[in-house]
Amino acid sequence: MTETFNQIVNETKNLSALERVQLVEEMYKTFESEKEETMTRRWADESERRIDAFERGEITTIDYEDITKILQ
């Protein structure tokens, strides 16, 4: 391992658990292609829209058991 790598690893030990998770997420993003990143962002935006609509009472949920009955 390079000295830079070892320094980074040592620095991460001083981060909180949440900061380490955020760091891993940011590092993971560097492996995603631009298309995957765009799709991930779109799904996140859509999820937020659906959560907001649910909280405003504009949409409801369906129980898993009911869905499985419908799909059979």
Exposure string of 42-66, with b = 16+ CB inside 10 Å and e = fewer, is: eeeeeeeeeeeeeeeeeeeeeeeee
Mean pLDDT of 21-33: 86
pLDDT band at 4 (very low <50, low <70, confident <90, very high): very high
51/57 Cα distance (integer angstroms): 10
* Lowest-pLDDT choice from 3-12, 28-37, 57-66: 28-37
pTM of the model: 0.46
Report the phi/psi class of residue 57: left, alpha or beta, with left for phi > 0 and alpha for psi in -120 to 50.
left
As a whole number of angstroms, the distance between CA 50 and CA 14 comes to 37
Q: Is pLDDT above 80 for 48?
A: yes
Question: Which one is predicted more confidently, 27 or 35?
Answer: 27
Q: Using pLDDT thresholds of 50, 70 and 90, give the confidence band for residue 40.
A: confident
